[in-house]
Structure 1
Amino acid sequence: MTGTSKELFGFLASKVSDFINDHLGEHFEEMKTRTGEDEHIFKLGFTFSFPINQTAVNRGTLLRWTKGFDVVDAIGKDVCLMLQEELDALDLKTHVAALVNDTVGTLMSRAYTFPGNHTTVAGVILGTGTNCAYIESMPAITKLDHSAQPDAIANVPNMIVNTEWGAFDDELLVMPMTIYDRELDGHTPNPGAQMFEKRVSGMFLGELLRCVVADLIDRNVLFGGRSSTPLITPWSQDTSVLSRMQADITPDLETVNNIVTREFEIPSCTYDERVALKTIVDAIGRRSAYLSGAVISGLLRHTKSIGGPRPVDIGVDGSVFEFYPDYEIMMREAIAIALGSEVEQAISIGIAKDGSGVGAALCALVA
């Protein structure tokens, strides 16, 4: 995704305009006549799922792009001000009241929609990208200057922290680096960055599969060495291909065979080749889920959330968690390995459907 910041934020403002026109229409025009020229009618919660330096509830400068975006002239600028300028240009009477990372929104949405005896300690995104926000005790946040406002900080026991865990271990001190990870990384606009995300999130799983299959064809291991345009074209496969293969429980793996002929454009494949593909898919999906479970385990251990007065709950949003077959089961396997099966069974993990949007609305409401 390339272009200019004006094009990007102008497009976002146009979508806000469409929403207002579709749902308010003439009523909005009547409301405008009752407000001053510089007055706003609506508060907007702005979900922005990229690394920022947030300095206020509705102020934050973009640090870098992820997930394939590369709008260079936006880096270092305040994303709220850029959106506000485009909203004002369309006279939408809308104020950007809260800037919210999608993980923070997911945490808030889950806590709001899942009340009860549980304590929601984290919001996790497992979709096109991956990230997490969690509740941290204020004394543990050493980045803050606690001497600047000691009274205010003393009265706020906790703060939500956006981890940007997609960039965990970019130095690859812990995670393995396969030849396929290296090839995929070279196809991205940010090589060497977001290395955890490139092993976990939905944007990259299909490309990993393509890299593996293409290599095995080159080695004459699959399909008699026959390749095709989709298999030599980066980003031609998406995560839905893996999901459908993973879900195939037919005796002859007919779904896998159909994907080979229709998506890979390979005329035919043997049963053994289908089994091999299913094994590759399982390895890619399992690694993603196990890495997700590992970082969740580390977060719970760091915050000492387990064993408190209330059971721990984690809200998750994203297509990989919601639709990839057995993803939560595999993720829980990793948590059980790290923390023990009793701890894993005591943790509640649930979908916060459209959590980033709902959470942003909640933040705007109270801003």
Structure 2
Amino acid sequence: MPYDPETDFPEAWKLCKPFMLTDDHLLSIRNSMTRELLNGLGRDTHDRSSIPCYLSYVQHLPTGRERGRFLALEMWPTNCRIMLVKFGSEKDIYMSSKCVIVPHTIAASRGTTLFNFLAQNIAVFVREKKVEKDNLPMGIAFAFALNKLSLDVGILVSWTKGYGAQGAVGKNVVQLLRNALDEYKDISINLNSIINIAAGSLMALSWSQTNCKMGLIIGTVTNAAYVEQSVECEMYEGDASVPLMIINTEWNNFGSNGHLDFIRTEFDKIVDAESNNPGKRYYEKCISTLYLGELVRLIIVRLMNMGVIFREHNLDYMGIQWKMEMKSIMAIDSDPPDVYVKAQEVMDKFRMRNCQERDLATLRFICQTVSTRSAKLVAAGVACLINRMNYANISIAVDGGIYRLYPRYQEVLNKHAAALINPDLKFEITIAQDSPGVGAAIVAGLASSLNFRHLSKS
């Protein structure tokens, strides 16, 4: 018979109960996000909003008829990717890429060191592809917070976990990379644009699905970009005759104004205090894969200290901060009902062998509870944006392993987003087959055209 958590492991149930969000909780969060979104769009309220709604200066969606060769750089918290993208016949994209792992010593050094490292790898890549003299348009898809002032001016607001390159915050990322590339006299690249990762996902899917109006990132970071009406963007001082503007919400900091205090648990507060940016990015710390494993680990450690789970084992490995990863949570929850083979395999890695079935069932319950809350919180944000745009039927491009690889997460997110949107609206979340770098390549092509160039501020 399946376990009843409330009866069979009441101590775990009590600790996890604050993670169990009700429909009323989600409705309140969706409505708070809507108000913060409007504040972010407003000129007088922008600076105090926890959802800043940065302008992307991308005001045209792809037509699917874009052609040519373009370069792109994807910058994620864990790695970077350099890409050569060729748009051939309709629906045909050729892509060649090189993944670059940024050593911690470089990611945490000076900004000049980081961008010199990237430039060196770009130079090697374009030489290998024999396009070093072609002056191809190049765009950056950027996973860190940016304040855009034009298509090719993106001011770095902050780094996230793993990065801390000094001297880069407050500066134009495009110019930093241009300066580094200038050292390579044998190569010619037209670095002309930068967008955030979510907007890149939106643009990439829009090339093949014209009803794509939102890009969603759920991974080590979380963010969303969506299509807004230009007249609603009070911070925009450009050509008002172009009706659309892709907005980079940077919703990861939602909650900094207190809107998530009523659902934040004691474990959320511990994770925040132990993070490299305490007091910030509350929404992201309840959602992203970077933090979910640590939340699960903290609950397990508490229960082990209480003597109610894994009694025959010690905390030698489970007691190590950040030791529990998202892939372990997904593995634990991948077993069929009443089977705990994968769960035990994960525990083996923590030197906790031959665990009791009840303990493994408790472990699965904890993982499901924490990951379900994450999916519900994303659903509230997705519903906020769908209702805001008010399109009858849209596609949403999602990037991030948790949605791609975790069926339970998909089910929870879709179910609760559907319950929170206006009943006349429809949506479909599509796993992005083309990476955000493809979207950055599209924007680079648009930026290089005369029709698009005049829309940017100089």
TM-score, scaled relative to structure 2: 0.70
Poorly superposed stretches of 4+, deviation over 4 Å: none
Instruction: Tell me which residue corresponds to 1:22.
Output: 128
C-alpha deviation, 1:235, in angstroms: 1.5
In the alignment, does 2:369 pair up with 1:283? yes
2-side partners of 1:354 and 1:182: how far apart?
36
2-side partners of 1:60 and 1:303: how far apart?
25
1-side partners of 2:121 and 2:265: how far apart?
41
Cα deviation, 1:195-236, whole Å, max 9, x if unaligned, reads: 111111121111121111111111112111733333222122
Structure 1 residues 195, 90: closer, same or farther in 2, change over 3 A?
Answer: same
In the alignment, does 2:458 pair up with 1:366? no
7-16 or 269-278, which moves further after superposition?
Answer: 7-16
1-side partners of 2:227 and 2:212: how far apart?
9
Instruction: Tell me which residue corresponds to 2:153.
Output: 59
Structure 1 residues 343, 282: closer, same or farther in 2, change over 3 A?
Answer: farther
Residue in structure 2 matching 1:249, options 332, 336, 348: 336
Partners of 2:376 and 2:416 within 8 A in 1: yes
1-side partners of 2:256 and 2:395: how far apart?
28
Secondary structure, aligned partner of 1:293 = helix
C-alpha deviation, 1:339, in angstroms: 2.7
In the alignment, does 2:383 pair up with 1:297? yes
Amino acid at match of 1:217: M
C-alpha deviation, 1:270, in angstroms: 0.5
Instruction: Tell me which residue corresponds to 1:122.
Output: 214
Aligned ranges 1:208-357 → 2 under 5 Å: 208-224=295-311, 226-249=313-336, 251-262=338-349, 264-305=350-391, 308=392, 311-339=393-421, 346-357=426-437
Whose helix fraction is larger, Structure 1's or Structure 2's? 1
Instruction: Tell me which residue corresponds to 1:113.
Output: 208
Structure 1 residues 270, 5: closer, same or farther in 2, change over 3 A?
Answer: same
Whose strand fraction is larger, Structure 1's or Structure 2's? 2
C-alpha deviation, 1:88, in angstroms: 1.4
Q: Percent identity?
A: 27
230-239 or 184-193, which moves further after superposition?
Answer: 230-239
Secondary structure, aligned partner of 1:52 = strand
Residue in structure 1 matching 2:292, options 200, 205, 213: 205
Partners of 2:205 and 2:434 within 8 A in 1: no
C-alpha deviation, 1:142, in angstroms: 2.0
Instruction: Tell me which residue corresponds to 2:31.
Output: none
55-64 or 12-21, which moves further after superposition?
Answer: 12-21
Amino acid at match of 2:414: R
Instruction: Tell me which residue corresponds to 1:36.
Output: none
Structure 1 residues 207, 354: closer, same or farther in 2, change over 3 A?
Answer: farther
2-side partners of 1:289 and 1:343: how far apart?
23
206-215 or 223-232, which moves further after superposition?
Answer: 223-232
Secondary structure, aligned partner of 2:291 = helix
Residue in structure 1 matching 2:164, options 66, 70, 73: 70
Partners of 2:344 and 2:353 within 8 A in 1: no
Amino acid at match of 1:358: V
C-alpha deviation, 1:250, in angstroms: 6.0
Partners of 1:51 and 1:65 within 8 A in 2: yes
2-side partners of 1:139 and 1:56: how far apart?
17
Residue in structure 2 matching 1:5, options 111, 120, 131: 111
Residue in structure 2 matching 1:42, options 122, 133, 136: 136
Partners of 1:166 and 1:196 within 8 A in 2: yes
Secondary structure, aligned partner of 2:276 = coil
C-alpha deviation, 1:192, in angstroms: 1.0
Residue in structure 2 matching 1:81, options 171, 175, 181: 175
2-side partners of 1:134 and 1:15: how far apart?
32
1-side partners of 2:434 and 2:333: how far apart?
25
Amino acid at match of 2:232: A
C-alpha deviation, 1:343, in angstroms: 5.4
Instruction: Tell me which residue corresponds to 1:184.
Output: 271
Amino acid at match of 2:110: T
Secondary structure, aligned partner of 2:180 = helix
2-side partners of 1:125 and 1:74: how far apart?
24
Partners of 1:121 and 1:313 within 8 A in 2: yes
Amino acid at match of 2:324: Q
Amino acid at match of 1:124: L
Instruction: Tell me which residue corresponds to 2:191.
Output: 96
C-alpha deviation, 1:336, in angstroms: 2.8
Cα deviation, 1:70-123, whole Å, max 9, x if unaligned, reads: 2232111111111111111123322311111111111111110224xxx21111
285-294 or 211-220, which moves further after superposition?
Answer: 211-220
Amino acid at match of 1:95: N
2-side partners of 1:54 and 1:121: how far apart?
20
Partners of 1:60 and 1:80 within 8 A in 2: yes
264-273 or 224-233, which moves further after superposition?
Answer: 224-233
Structure 1 residues 134, 185: closer, same or farther in 2, change over 3 A?
Answer: same
In the alignment, does 2:245 pair up with 1:159? yes
1-side partners of 2:141 and 2:418: how far apart?
33
Instruction: Tell me which residue corresponds to 2:9.
Output: none
160-169 or 329-338, which moves further after superposition?
Answer: 329-338
| Structural RMSD (CA) | 1.9
Partners of 1:136 and 1:159 within 8 A in 2: yes
Partners of 2:209 and 2:395 within 8 A in 1: no
Amino acid at match of 1:132: A
Partners of 1:68 and 1:188 within 8 A in 2: no
1-side partners of 2:424 and 2:372: how far apart?
21
Partners of 1:107 and 1:355 within 8 A in 2: no
Partners of 1:219 and 1:225 within 8 A in 2: no
